[in-house]
Structures are given as structure tokens and as C-alpha cells.
Amino acid sequence: MSFKDMWQTRFPGACYNVMDTSRIDGSLWGRNDYPWDKYFNNNADDSVLDWKPSGAEPAMSDPEVQAKINSTIGRKAIVVPPELEEKMKNDPELAKRVMAKVEGFIAEQDIMNPNPRKGYLIALDGNGDIAHACVTSEKMSVSSAEFIEARKAREEKHAEYERLAEESALKRRLMEQNAAGKSFAAQMNNVAGAKPHTSIVYMKTDDMLYSGGNGTGLSFYIKYAEGSTEDDPTVIAKGVDENGNEFEQTIHINKINPKCATVVEMRALEAHLGVDKNGGLSSLPPETGEMGLHDMADFMDMFQKQISDMRLLGQQKLVAYYQYSMQAYWDFMNRK
């Protein structure tokens, strides 16, 4: 069975194109106006590989961008370079391995965002790795090769970590609900009434310290500022907040106080210090996934709570990891 047959048997109706997407500038792939919707048919025009923007990038909320996103939801498309297709024709085992990678990526995205109505565009490189990927739903993200490499690194520990983090967060939420007299049904009603929104994860380039976001829709990247010095390391954070509004912040690393900081400031500090992420995407506690742009928190207290939860669950490896992460930020404060 060919790779195309595997793909379309596993995902009936999925689109398949043979094209060399390495010709596409990575910075263009992540733009809101890039025509990635054109790949969602079986006869994509090669002109899409040479696309260039005609003006300023539109906002995610632009009606044309939203229409493009909506046209891909519930659909799947894959782009295979000619050289890879030829390799897989001659090596059925390679085709199976590539298919396993693709299925693993889709499965992981379904875990991270359980909304069943999503769209997937996956572009492979000549070795059968995922070079670019676009996932659309009520939230829309563009993931880079850097994101995909991080996924590979955390594959073995992902399931256990997510289960423990969710168990910890659920336990804390239940305790908070009991203390406040809230019912589980009331909380579920609040979730059900939440308005859908869109977000983008910026593709990481070589000059970026960080690129990512969280579950609120907050999404941003961080670069060193032009005037940054060793004595006064300074970064620029730029992106969109949880409401889809664009923002730009100048952050002086030495002024960050982990006992009263925003998640953007802590991402900047994490990247500047080079804190080991333990094979995942973050050294910070899971609660940061619920923080908006201007939300302030005592991150040292968050670490203490997470360590306490992991001890309660008997997860000594995670206890040790969060203790290491917390110590990195204590050391930073003590050096100030």
C-alpha cells in the first residue's frame, strides 16, 4: 500500500499533494494571509509555493482570515515532497514510519485540544519529518519545526505528565470550589458559555528566545532588544493577548520579580536564564496556562503548591524537577 493510500484510508476524504514546500519562506508560512487553504484539495496549484504578501498582515479577526480558517475545519491535507514520495515508493517501511509520525502528531493535537472539529494541514520534508503544520478550530495555530522537535523530546513523558498535571489542577479546583461554595455544575455552565476565540502560535526563528502561548489564546514571541546589554539584558515581547488584541512590551530582565510577575515576564526570564524544560515546553507550573497578558502571580508560591501536589501523588521525579526549576528563579532573585 502506498503512502497516499495509507493516508486516505486512515483519513477518508483527506487531500494529498506532491509539492516541494521547502521553497516557502518560513516567515510567510506563519502569516494570517498565507493561502494555506489552497492545499485543501487534491490538485493544489504550484503558484502557492511562490506566494508573496501584497500588503500588511491582516489581523486574525479579519473576516477573510476567519473565512479561510472556517473553510478548513473538519478537513485534512498533507503535502509530500517529490523526493520523499519516491523514497516511500521504494521503501514501504519508511512509508509506515512516516504515517506513524503523522498519526502521532494528530493524536497529540487532539489531546491538547479535544474539540473534534479541527482542520489539519501537514507539510513533510524530504526525510519524512513534519516541517510545517497548521491546525485550525475555534483556535488556530501554526506550529514550526521547533515545536515539532519539542514534541518528539517529550513523547515518552507526555501522557504521564498531562495526567498528573490535570489531576493536580482538578484537585486544586475542587478544593477552591468547596471553599467558595461553588458547584461543579455551575462551573461547567460557565465553561459551556465561554465564547470561542482564535489565537496563533508564532513560528520560531533563530533570533527568537521564545515562541508560544497558552490556553487562554495569549500568544507571543520574545527577542532580545537592540539596546540589550550584559548588564541590562532587555527583551521585546510581541504577540496577541487572550482577546486577540496585538501587544508589544519591553521587558528589562533584571527588573522581573518572580514573586509578582506576568507569564510573559516569566517566559522572558526562563529563556534568558536557559532553565532546563525537562524535555517539554515549559519549566513553569501548569497553572500558567490559565493566565492572561496582564495577570500577575506569585510564581514561587505556584511552585510550592505544585511541589506539594506532586508529593501528595507520590511523583518524586516531578517533585525534584519543580524544586530544580524553583531554585533557578530563587538564585536569580538572590543575585539581584
Look at 68-77, 134-143, 188-197, 221-230 and tell me which has the smallest mean pLDDT.
188-197
Distance of CA 268 to the CA centre of its chain: 16
Contacts of 147 (CB under 8 A, 6+ apart): 133, 201, 204, 212
- Tell me which range, 77-91, 153-167, 178-192, is most confidently predicted by mean pLDDT: 77-91
Residue-wise pLDDT for 185-244, tens only, equals 433 344 344 344 444 555 566 788 988 888 788 888 999 999 999 999 999 999 988 888
d(CA 237, CA 158): 28
Say if residue 160's pLDDT is above 70. Answer: no
CA atoms within 13 A on the CB side of 210: 28
Contacts of 204 (CB under 8 A, 6+ apart): 144, 146, 147, 210, 211, 221
Closest to 273 measured CA to CA, from 294, 249, 299:
299
pLDDT, the chain, mean: 80
Domain residue limits, the chain: 3-143, 165-335
- Characterize the bridge pairing of strands 76-80 and 15-18: parallel
Q: List residues bridging with 108 in a β-sheet.
A: none
Q: How many CB atoms lie within 10 A of CB 153?
A: 15
Using the CB atoms, write b or e for 69-101: b if 16+ within 10 Å: beebeebbbbbbbeebbebbeeeeebbeebbeb
Give residue 333's pLDDT band: very low, low, confident or very high (50, 70, 90). Answer: very high
This model's pTM is above 0.85: no
